[in-house]
Structure 1
């Protein structure tokens, strides 16, 4: 038996999760982690050389400020500067007029915290108000630990220095000296993905598959394509040349995602090809290489290859016609096509003044923070003031998202505390200079930077364990600390904050995404319906639009998947109800992906076969409309209260008995996927729609 057979399944799942997160090759991750780790070492050196206090604050600014590309880093730097002005102004007023009146000072700080958390929910600049809330909470530790207002003001000014000079450093280093421009990142990622397409084509020709060209799973292709879309948004804002032909690059991203998905599927079930088939695959590989060369030069792809009648017949035989159409249509893309104007989001959410959920959220956070403040101040245990910060940091709109953040913060804090304990006992007593100290910090900072630049599912662990480690080892004086009590207090404070937050956020106006997830699933199925309805033109001019709609389906399904992970953490929902609802949601997600993939196959076959009789084409169009309406009807049932989504009892397998059997078989498979969608009308499935889990209701 293998060693894995003796390991419990939960541990295997946890190990698989961390392996996936640590090895994720996100565009620009290596450069971002290198910049972040190097800047952390530079900040420690500067702070200790110039005696700048609050090193942990300087480090946390870097972890929140250094982004995957230079454009976003500069945007976040501006937000930090504005937030600092607001922070300092608010705290100065509080210290000036209420320093000697603790009750008034606490009430004023509570009002600032309440207003900041409310604005974080209703304003699109939520990150800025989150920073204001954190400083308002942390600022209460200054007058509590100092006896004179002058000293408190001086400490506040040093806090401004500690927070602002890292912003200047990261703008200089990440924005100007070693910038990771979105356009460059997008080009490199497109090059990598097209290299993967070439490897799949080589595999189809019979070339031995090496470890370096191992096939990518379908979910990885989906994530990579959506990551490219994010880079496309930044590149359109950052580069005028890119922005001039942005519609082409958006179509290119969708085309590359399709090429990867299609070649991976074809290579996984290779067909015996003759010399003519291998010649066509070689021709496709040459065109992909030409597309790759145009990407490297940041120029539009302009291939001149037009498949012959014989090549089209071979493509239909081996399922390569979709690849041929995609490359041809991309080569003929109209570069003069104007970019659609993106709708501008309002500064505030539409129901900011009418929905009581936002006010209740702000009240919950303020209450949790005040409970922690009263506890540690009443117990005269200022070392656990991290409990107050924890209440603000883990605050999220839903209980599931809050518990997810709590677990990340708790895990990161324990890792940081353990590292601080080991270094304090084993390494710090043997240090005799700054070089050795920085050498000790380097692996910790770079490891934290690598984790922090991963996906949102785990990135906060890296931020948290570096911050906890810095609070425990770098905050006392301008040299390494050997006080084990600091490590204990920081960790205990975080755990107390998590317990208080868990109780308050669970039992006072809990917010559940259990209802919202059904709306998200319905939106994803409607996107799939649009995909099936998408018109086909004889000249193939709509093919690239179809591929972009396909990416929209992937995006909707990924949003649903992220929400499912958060709902799984909602402990305020009965476990049986939550499990049943999550299982049905996962079944809808799996079914939605299969529907998109199966329609892809059927659409390619329909386009390859063609029809000389208009009546047959009209029959297929009517069948497609019927299938899309079945998806829309199911989606409408998902959004009902309670849900009444039931799959259709039957769908016609094909529009006509005269069509060829391969089309009938593929159409039957698509109809089967829709019929097998889960039934939401059972009591357990709809039991989540109780008053106990409605936003704004309490249990």
Structure 2
């Protein structure tokens, strides 16, 4: 059920059309970003605050899928930046007249914030905060007196405060509730399940993270009061039941011998579609009854699928089990800092590399006396990434997005802006440009970074002040700055302390197999299904990382053979996920299932053939499901071992 791993990244026209195709929620999210960015530009124009383009761009980082997390993140960012600006004001007396001390302060604050960006929950907005503080300290060097320096820092605060306020207002007016998103995601997954039952083959349009976001959305919905305790428990159960349905239909769609006859598939598909309709209306189905023919004539595996589907459907939002202390402990979130914050050197390396790149760009445009390319300094904070694979892959997207945004912005200056007669016309232009950029940014990770860069370049060209701007020199210099910043980050991140994505893949595999082992050992049905939710989300994440791994040069990243081995291992786990889940549901704690997981992890012993494992009380279903697992495992030769990559700890 995970997306295909390590496929070559293609840019054929039909691939691009598929990546730009609409999906549930994309239009609404895009419109919300465009509205918030346009409102930001309007407020900046009214009060004449500098760098309105950067303020508008901040929206792309603080806006989230639901209104609650968007507002919470916005308020938290405002509080944090207020505290930091206050600390910088205390330092202003010591740095305003001392350029060397000012630059040292910029580097120190930048490194500290970027360390937290890499090693804490500050990750979504830490780089933006570092960039804003750097801008504020830079402004200290352009003013002759302490009072004006304070005003410059106030402007730096307003650069964040204005988009935060606009984001809060827009999300209060237009943002979807977390409950709405949770119900929509469950409905989307049920629609896919119904289509598999009707078509008789597996589909790949299940969201990569499955129903995993539902738990977080439900917690936010409870926080904002849109679900009561009963609804909260019912929708939690609905999420686990949806996963059970997806796993069962996945087996039916993959195995010809497991495909359900028409008389069983159609009633279940109709029932699942009706359940999806209830969820789309904001409710949830209860007391469901599925009417089907006698299942005694079905094969054992078909009976197992029918039983699993009937159990999940008829108890869809009912009978949630009490969670064990172990499950409750596992659900607890960590602290502010990551567990390896002070032991993983990559965090400090990331902070130093990004700060070094930014300081180089700062000194470059200062020494060249070319302030127009100051966007190279800003760009370093916006495009820095953790691993070489991400850096190399995203460089193409960023440069492509930059060129597209620059061309669009320049064309707007030449052909559109001269026709504008008011700020309203400029706002319309900003809204259209933002909407198109945000549409790309809200898509697949394969193109999302391009959307961010399109918006950044477009803003820097078009938003030149409180009204329409016509200066092509400003647009030219800012685009040159973006390109310089991208190239500097690329060179720094690929030459200094390069970090391979292999270690993240290794960690992901370990966590994935641990989830499956915990699923097999879990006795309560709800606990097994929770582990299945986490496992499916991890599979999607590992598959995405395997795609990125091919971008790393052999001197840093894993070899082609290692990537292919991991890809095969992931594809085998994807193929056996459904049968393993059905086995665990019916025979929790079965040692035969754990044995298959160990064999998958090592792939260093001959795979048993069907019948080598005794079934409980001669149960045919147990034997048939194990045989399905063994067939998938036996596709690899006994000698295919999965050794650690030499770069896994880089």
Provide TM-score, normalisation by structure 2: 0.85
Q: State whether structure 2 residue 241 is matched by structure 1 residue 241.
A: no
Paired residues of 1:82 and 1:128 also in contact (CA < 8 A) = no
Structure 1 residue 73 displacement after superposition: 1.0
Quote the Cα distance in structure 2 between the aligned partners of 1:662 and 1:353.
Answer: 50
Q: How does 1:269-348 map to 2 (within 5 A)?
A: 280-281=264-265, 283-285=267-269, 287-288=271-272, 291-292=275-276, 295=279, 301-303=285-287, 305=289, 310-311=294-295, 313=297, 319-330=305-316, 333-334=319-320, 340=328, 342-348=331-337
Instruction: Tell me the equivalent position of 1:171.
Output: 168
Instruction: Tell me the equivalent position of 1:651.
Output: 608
Does the C-alpha gap of structure 1 residues 375 and 647 become closer, same or farther in structure 2, counting only changes over 3 Å?
same
Deviations 1:150-174 (A, max 9, x none): 4443333234334313322221231
Does the C-alpha gap of structure 1 residues 516 and 63 become closer, same or farther in structure 2, counting only changes over 3 Å?
closer
Paired residues of 2:235 and 2:317 also in contact (CA < 8 A) = no
Quote the Cα distance in structure 2 between the aligned partners of 1:243 and 1:662.
Answer: 38
Structure 1 residue 594 displacement after superposition: 0.8
Instruction: Tell me the equivalent position of 1:614.
Output: none
Instruction: Tell me the equivalent position of 1:379.
Output: 368
Structure 1 residue 376 displacement after superposition: 1.4
Paired residues of 1:627 and 1:651 also in contact (CA < 8 A) = no
Does the C-alpha gap of structure 1 residues 12 and 652 become closer, same or farther in structure 2, counting only changes over 3 Å?
closer
Paired residues of 2:520 and 2:528 also in contact (CA < 8 A) = no
Q: State whether structure 2 residue 573 is matched by structure 1 residue 592.
A: yes
Q: How does 1:86-125 map to 2 (within 5 A)?
A: 86-125=83-122
Quote the Cα distance in structure 1 between the aligned partners of 2:349 and 2:9.
Answer: 38
Correspondence for 1:670 among 600, 606, 629: 629
Structure 1 residue 128 displacement after superposition: 4.8
Quote the Cα distance in structure 1 between the aligned partners of 2:198 and 2:141.
Answer: 68
Paired residues of 2:376 and 2:481 also in contact (CA < 8 A) = yes
Deviations 1:636-662 (A, max 9, x none): xxxxxxxxx443213242224996888
Correspondence for 1:629 among 595, 601, 606: 595
Quote the Cα distance in structure 2 between the aligned partners of 1:432 and 1:263.
Answer: 59
Q: Which consecutive unaligned segments of at least 5 residues does structure 1 have?
A: 1-8, 205-214, 536-541, 608-619, 636-644
Paired residues of 2:185 and 2:211 also in contact (CA < 8 A) = no
Paired residues of 1:116 and 1:133 also in contact (CA < 8 A) = yes
Query: Which secondary structure state, in structure 1, belongs to the residue aligned with residue 610 of structure 2?
Result: coil
Query: Which secondary structure state, in structure 1, belongs to the residue aligned with residue 449 of structure 2?
Result: helix
Quote the Cα distance in structure 1 between the aligned partners of 2:280 and 2:483.
Answer: 50
Structure 1 residue 470 displacement after superposition: 1.4
Quote the Cα distance in structure 2 between the aligned partners of 1:649 and 1:292.
Answer: 44
Paired residues of 2:194 and 2:272 also in contact (CA < 8 A) = yes
Instruction: Tell me the equivalent position of 2:383.
Output: 394
Instruction: Tell me the equivalent position of 1:212.
Output: none
Structure 1 residue 380 displacement after superposition: 1.1
Correspondence for 1:186 among 165, 173, 182: 182
Aligned-pair Cα RMSD in Å: 3.8
Q: How does 1:532-571 map to 2 (within 5 A)?
A: 532=520, 542-571=524-553
Quote the Cα distance in structure 2 between the aligned partners of 1:291 and 1:269.
Answer: 26
Structure 1 residue 303 displacement after superposition: 1.9
Q: State whether structure 2 residue 490 is matched by structure 1 residue 502.
A: yes
Structure 1 residue 481 displacement after superposition: 1.8
Instruction: Tell me the equivalent position of 1:211.
Output: none
Structure 1 residue 229 displacement after superposition: 4.6
Structure 1 residue 592 displacement after superposition: 0.9
Quote the Cα distance in structure 1 between the aligned partners of 2:207 and 2:259.
Answer: 26
Q: State whether structure 2 residue 478 is matched by structure 1 residue 490.
A: yes
Paired residues of 2:26 and 2:442 also in contact (CA < 8 A) = yes
Deviations 1:583-635 (A, max 9, x none): 2221111111012134356679xx6xxxxxxxxxxxx999x524423423653
Does the C-alpha gap of structure 1 residues 435 and 115 become closer, same or farther in structure 2, counting only changes over 3 Å?
closer
Quote the Cα distance in structure 2 between the aligned partners of 1:264 and 1:689.
Answer: 35
Does the C-alpha gap of structure 1 residues 234 and 406 become closer, same or farther in structure 2, counting only changes over 3 Å?
farther
Deviates more, 1:625-634 or 1:390-399: 625-634
Quote the Cα distance in structure 1 between the aligned partners of 2:350 and 2:257.
Answer: 58
Deviations 1:477-529 (A, max 9, x none): 32222222222222221222222222222222222232332232133233334
The alignment of Structure 1 onto Structure 2 pairs a total of residues equal to 637
Quote the Cα distance in structure 1 between the aligned partners of 2:588 and 2:429.
Answer: 67
Quote the Cα distance in structure 1 between the aligned partners of 2:290 and 2:111.
Answer: 64
Q: Give the structure, 1 or 2, with the largest relative contact order (CA under 8 Å, sep 6 or more).
A: 2
Structure 1 residue 81 displacement after superposition: 0.8
Instruction: Tell me the equivalent position of 2:646.
Output: 689
Deviations 1:653-673 (A, max 9, x none): 222499688865653331132
Quote the Cα distance in structure 2 between the aligned partners of 1:112 and 1:331.
Answer: 50
Does the C-alpha gap of structure 1 residues 184 and 664 become closer, same or farther in structure 2, counting only changes over 3 Å?
closer
Q: How does 1:343-382 map to 2 (within 5 A)?
A: 343-382=332-371
Paired residues of 1:452 and 1:460 also in contact (CA < 8 A) = yes
Q: Which has the larger radius of gyration?
A: 1
Query: Which secondary structure state, in structure 2, belongs to the residue aligned with residue 366 of structure 1?
Result: helix
Correspondence for 1:155 among 152, 156, 159: 152
Quote the Cα distance in structure 2 between the aligned partners of 1:407 and 1:119.
Answer: 27
Deviates more, 1:57-66 or 1:323-332: 323-332
Quote the Cα distance in structure 2 between the aligned partners of 1:136 and 1:531.
Answer: 46
Paired residues of 1:229 and 1:250 also in contact (CA < 8 A) = yes
Quote the Cα distance in structure 2 between the aligned partners of 1:626 and 1:585.
Answer: 23
Q: How does 1:570-609 map to 2 (within 5 A)?
A: 570-571=552-553, 573=555, 577-600=558-581
Structure 1 residue 320 displacement after superposition: 2.9
Paired residues of 1:222 and 1:257 also in contact (CA < 8 A) = no
Structure 1 residue 278 displacement after superposition: 5.5
Paired residues of 1:312 and 1:321 also in contact (CA < 8 A) = no
Paired residues of 1:399 and 1:506 also in contact (CA < 8 A) = yes
Structure 1 residue 419 displacement after superposition: 0.9
Query: Which secondary structure state, in structure 2, belongs to the residue aligned with residue 458 of structure 1?
Result: helix
Correspondence for 1:41 among 35, 38, 42: 38
Instruction: Tell me the equivalent position of 2:409.
Output: 420
Structure 1 residue 99 displacement after superposition: 1.6
Correspondence for 1:433 among 422, 425, 429: 422
Instruction: Tell me the equivalent position of 1:461.
Output: 450
Provide TM-score, normalisation by structure 1: 0.80
Quote the Cα distance in structure 2 between the aligned partners of 1:134 and 1:270.
Answer: 56
Query: Which secondary structure state, in structure 2, belongs to the residue aligned with residue 72 of structure 1?
Result: helix
Quote the Cα distance in structure 1 between the aligned partners of 2:277 and 2:493.
Answer: 53
Quote the Cα distance in structure 2 between the aligned partners of 1:47 and 1:136.
Answer: 19
Structure 1 residue 203 displacement after superposition: 5.8
Structure 1 residue 248 displacement after superposition: 3.6
Q: State whether structure 2 residue 469 is matched by structure 1 residue 481.
A: yes
